[in-house]
Amino acid sequence: MSSGIECGVVLFESTSAALKAEKEAVKTGLKVKLIPVPRALNSGCGFCLRFDWQDIEKIRGLLISRELKFEGIHKLKWPPN
Amino acid sequence: MIYLDNAATSFPKPEGVALAMNRFMTSVGANPGRSGHRLSLEAARAIFDAREKVADLFGAGGPLRVIFCLNATEALNLAIRGLLRPGDHVIASSMEHNSVMRPLRRLEAEGVELSIARCSSEGILDPSDVRKLVRGNTAMIVITHASNVTGSILPVAEIGRLARENGILSLVDAAQTGGCYPIDIETDCIDLLAFSGHKGLFGPQGTGGLVAGARVDTNSLAPLKTGGTGSRSEYETQPDFLPDKYESGTPNTVGIAGLGAGLEFVLGEGIGRIREHEKALTKRLLSGLADIPAITVYGERNPERQTATVSFNIRGIDSSEAAMRLDEEYEIMCRPGLHCSPAAHRTIGAFPGGTIRFSMSYMNSREEIDCAVHAVADIAGGAGGAGK
């Protein structure tokens, strides 16, 4: 992703849940990446799933349709400063 | 050298297993999911991949319902100790391994009621004998999928249906069948499946696990241990979700990486093919042994209804002496004695002397079985007619 773009992160309760969501997203053709959780956000596990904010509805749809349990979705600037 | 002790642990392993472990030790090495860096992520992926493969193989409702443990024994302890409370009633078969009997006997001393469903001297369990033991407070039925002594396959699906009709959980010890016999926790009505990683799944020792079916309420399944999980680090209380609730402490990541490669081998070959080869070996061994006078073979002696494990005795020779001679004179590795299963040996009438056990795997060849039959015939002093 280019610098300064708007992106989102999905937070999960466990690394296993984050890895599962990543696989499902990649299968659907979404551009995502597992990254360490930004310090400003409180999360259950060390990783969160970063995505392009323009894909927010697709991500939300995927989380619901695949019954992927998540803790929250946050919008942020990437890279954070 | 002929290795016929695969019911204890499989050997040799597919080549990919040691390669995956070596790759993990030399180029990954990190603590899975703890730290957020790329190696930590890669270690977590190795575990997640193995989790997915276990879920695929056993028809689990997704990778998160696979809990990794040190071995099948730990998985059985988790299910038994984690779910049963004083005042509960539990039913087990008379073919169980001590990995089931010892946790049950310990709980019995703490106020859990225990009934044993008797199997025939051939190791056959009649589901109606289990039905007769069901009470109002029966919380669980534990049965082994296949005996580690005779290889006898127990009717897990019938028992599972019986359990469901009565609102009871079924726990199946699949240490002897995982990777060698078809298992689907839905069609077999299994609520909790304990598996070994280092037998039919060809992983290294120190791997195994528990698959928790949809009917298992994790609120009532207590963990055996609590501690760090890499999740919910801000809380001093244990996470309440799968699989983290039951996987505290740094796992055996290198072992699980190897297990992933073992699972890949099993899924690649296919259970059908593995089962056919093992059946052919079993048939060959059984017919070879049947031709030797002075041999008693235990169990049903039917390759269709057993795993590739065969127990027998040579009249007049102690099982451990015979095993020692097989090792020293013929380089055949097998296991004599009671195989940690005194209950099963009592059931088949081989207690306390035990039996000689030949347990084969997909890696064994027909020629090896023929050699083993000849060796037994030699020792029995009844050479001639042995081998095909």
Mean pLDDT by 10 residues, chain B (388 residues): 98 98 98 88 97 98 96 98 98 97 98 98 97 98 98 98 98 98 98 98 98 96 94 86 95 98 98 98 98 96 98 96 97 96 94 96 98 97 46
pLDDT at A43: 64
Q: Are A18 and B230 in contact (CB under 8 A)?
A: no
pLDDT at B33: 81
Which alpha helices (H) appear in chain B, and where do they start and end? 15-23, 38-58, 72-83, 98-109, 127-131, 156-165, 253-269, 271-290, 319-330, 342-348, 366-380
pLDDT at B330: 98
Tokens of B259: 């297990």
Contacts of A47 in chain B (CB under 8 A): 33, 36, 41, 44
B84 vs A44 pLDDT, higher one = B84
Q: Are A22 and A62 in contact (CB under 8 A)?
A: no
Contacts of A46 in chain B (CB under 8 A): 33-36, 40, 230-231
Give the residue from B49, B20, B47, B13 showing the smallest Cα distance to B33. B47
For residue A39, what pLDDT band results from cuts at 50, 70 and 90? confident
Which domains does chain A possess? 5-78 (3.30.70.1710)
Task: Report which secondary-structure segment, H or E, holds A57.
Answer: helix A56-65
Distance from CA of B253 to the nearest CA of A (A): 14
Rounded Cα distance between B271 and B179, Å, is: 6
* Cβ–Cβ below 8 Å for A16 and B45: no
For residue A77, what pLDDT band results from cuts at 50, 70 and 90? confident
pLDDT at A44: 67
Contacts of A17 in chain B (CB under 8 A): 64, 241
Which domains does chain B possess? 15-269 (3.40.640.10), 271-380 (3.90.1150.10)
pLDDT at B384: 38
pTM for the whole structure: 0.94
The chain A residue lying nearest B232, using CA atoms, is: A44
Rounded Cα distance between A58 and A65, Å, is: 10
| Nearest CB neighbour to B41, from listed A23, A34, A37 | A34
Q: Are B25 and B379 in contact (CB under 8 A)?
A: no
| Nearest CB neighbour to A14, from listed B41, B231, B234 | B231
What's the CA dihedral at B19, B14, B202, B265 to 10 degrees?
A: 100
Q: Are B243 and B102 in contact (CB under 8 A)?
A: no
Q: Would the ipTM clear 0.90, i.e. be above it?
A: no
Residues 53-112 of B with CB under 8 A from A: 62-64
pLDDT at A81: 60
Rounded Cα distance between A29 and A10, Å, is: 17
Q: If you average pLDDT over every residue of chain A, what do you get?
A: 89
* Cβ–Cβ below 8 Å for A16 and B48: yes
For chains A and B, CB pairs below 8 A equal 65
CA separation, residue B252 to residues B9, B30, B44, B203, B240 (Å): 17, 11, 11, 12, 22
Would you call B51 an interface residue with chain A, using a CB distance cutoff of 8 Å? yes
DSSP strand pairing (B332-333 vs B2-3): parallel
pLDDT at A24: 95
Distance from CA of A41 to the nearest CA of B (A): 12
For residue A3, what pLDDT band results from cuts at 50, 70 and 90? low
Q: pLDDT tens, A13-25?
A: 889 999 999 999 9
